[in-house]
Amino acid sequence: MYRAPVAEIAFTLKHVIGLSPAITAGHMGELSADLLEAILEEAGRFAAEEIAPLNQVGDRRASTYADGAVTLPEGWAKTYSAWCEAGWNALSGPEEFGGQDLPVSLAVAAFDIWNSACAAFALGPTLTVGAVEALKLHATEEIKERYLARLVSGEWTGTMNLTEPQAGSDLGALRCRAERREDGTYRLFGQKIFITYGEHDMAGNIVHTVLARLPDAPAGTKGISLFLVPKYLVNEDGSLGAHNDVFCAGIEHKLGINASPTCTMLYGDGHYGDEPGAVGYLIGEENRGLACMFTMMNNARLMVGIQGVGVAERALQEATAYALERRQGRAPNAPKDGEMSPIVEHPDIRRTLLAMRGLTQASRAICYACAHAIDLADAGAPGPETNGDGTRFWNERASLLTPIAKAFSTDCGVEVASMGIQVYGGMGYIEETGAAQHLRDARIFPIYEGTNGIQAIDLLTRKLPQSDGACVRGYLDELAAIAEVARASNRDEMGKIGERLAAAITDCREASEYLLEEMAAGRMEGALCGATPYLRLFGLAAGGAYLAQGAISSDPSESEAGRLRIATARAFCERLCPQTQALLAEIKEGGQSILQVPAETLASFQ
């Protein structure tokens, strides 16, 4: 059912987003090309054999709730333990606490595979990795000592507690409160909703990271602090103590990712303990919690992007296999009296499959490029035009690519899953087939960790203006150089990859300059009307460039994979990249049509 595209993933890392030169330059620590491939190979094996079989059964049986306890579907806890024992949870964790400290790009590639195998399974560790990152950077030594090793190994899992009923995208509205205690600890009170893996039965402890507000905190986002709140208190010797006053009040019935419990969490409602309040420990400084949480959020956003890629890959593989097997009608050039053709021979089906592949592979490369930028920032690698420290350059690059990785990839995840259903025809609508689950699962990705609308606003208002636009301009110059190589290649099978890609990049440049000007002139509403089309435009241009880079690096005479890579890049650049013209036109309309009627008018249904 699922076979990890190890060779394609390794190729993308090494030859498309630049891991090979980074290894050569010594920025990737102990990682070698051989080690990279060995790890991916083993991840692929584990995913296909152990995790993939959980996907459909997890969807059907779902997590269940009773009296504060959540039971994961059968097989879940056992597979999770085996996965942790094999060291997979520790892949990118700090060495000091038992991690392997491997590059983020490799960890993201592994999560690409875990998500293809079962997104609901991969989601738990995704949160744990985020918690590890936040503790590593912001927690006291004592907390690190007490918690990090067991989060790195996966013996314990982590969560992110942000959302409250009245505070979703707007965290400034949150009300969960924290009181100081004389011993330096805190007591938390309040309700959190939509907490992924907030309660479950696959780990010995659950380490919640919780945003809350101190009594004397300023209003809004500047009065939010971050706390660690363990399900079970942890004694000084590391043994588990009493159940903290943390209670799971229920789980949601969702469209998809049914095995992943989405919990309502009550802190300090008196379910457990003698004294009211859930015991919490401050992470970072008081009232600076949002900054710490953003460490986790940025990581989580990239990790959500790769969820989109993972599910798209699975949908693509299954639709392709079905299209090769299912026979209906006769393709245009099939012999008249022969049998029915496999539907893959029908041009419209093949168009669909190549579009699915292009969107999947483009998203993948964007996510990997974002991860690679994080790695290079961590490594203090030089930027392309500096000889010294490139940390700022790579941080800005990672920061720029994060909303695109999150939103473009997850939109593509939904689109590819939906196209997958379409390839199956009527069978795609039957749950048994599995194609519909991919759409149901993927549909959350554009929503959580900041809706894709929020990502687009982030790209427009925070990332585009970085270094007065120089970050975006420099990036687009790099992409344009790829287009130029493609154009100059003079290889027939490359078609018009270079020309079409260059046009898309020019559109992206024009949109960027237009939006910078509009914002500088204070026409913010109009610019915001273009945020979502701008992100899409950016994703098409960047994705097209990475696909083109893959095509440039492929020798079609060498392998089938190379030929497919070139055809995919060509179909993407020639057929999908022209959409950038339309997106640019949409952006440049500003917001007049959208803003010309008052909000209430939108409700005049009759």
Structure tokens at 315: 């949908």
d(CA 192, CA 499): 51
Q: Which amino acid, 201?
A: D
Using an 8 Å Cβ cutoff, are 54 and 48 in contact? no
The residue (of 134 and 497) whose beta carbon lies closer to a copy of itself is: 497
Q: How far is the CB of 410 from a copy of itself (least distance, A)?
A: 11
We find the least distance from the C-beta atom of residue 474 to a copy of itself, in angstroms, to be 27
Instruction: Name the 3-class secondary structure at 176.
Output: coil
- Beta bridge pairs of residue 187: 179, 279
How many residues does the structure list for the chain?
606
Closest CA to 13 of 145, 129, 150, 109: 109
**How far apart are CB 561 and a copy of itself at their closest, in Å?**
5
In whole angstroms, the minimum distance from the beta carbon of 446 to a copy of itself comes to 6
Taking the least distance from each CB to a copy of itself, the nearer of 24 and 169 is 169
DSSP line for 284-337: SSTTBHHHHHHHHHHHHHHHHHHHHHHHHHHHHHHHHHHHHH-B-S--TTS-TT
Distance CA 367, CA 543 (A): 10
Calpha distance 388→382 (Å, rounded): 6
Kindly calculate the radius of gyration of the chain based on its CA atoms and give it in whole angstroms: 24
CA atoms within a 13 Å half-sphere pointing along the CA-CB vector of 243: 13
Residue number, 110 or 376, with CB nearest to a copy of itself: 110
In the complex, what is the shortest distance from the CB of residue 338 to a copy of itself, in angstroms, rounded to a whole number?
12
Look up residue 532 and give its DSSP letter. Answer: H
If the CB atoms of residues 405 and 457 are measured against a copy of itself, the closer one turns out to be 457
CB contact set of 220 (below 8 Å; sequence gap of 6+): 172
Measured from the CB atom, the residue of 291 and 561 that comes closer to a copy of itself is 561
Beta bridge partners of 247: 266
Is the C-alpha dihedral spanning 468, 104, 120, 314 positive or negative?
positive
Q: How far is the CB of 467 from a copy of itself (least distance, A)?
A: 24
Closest Cα to residue 383, out of 22, 2, 10, 3? 22
Give the residue numbers marked as catalytic. Answer: 449
CB of 422 to a copy of itself, least distance (A): 6
- Judged by beta carbon, residue 269 or residue 574, the one nearer a copy of itself is 574
Kindly tell me which of 329 and 384 has the beta carbon lying closer to a copy of itself: 329
Closest to 417 measured CA to CA, from 343, 308, 324? 308
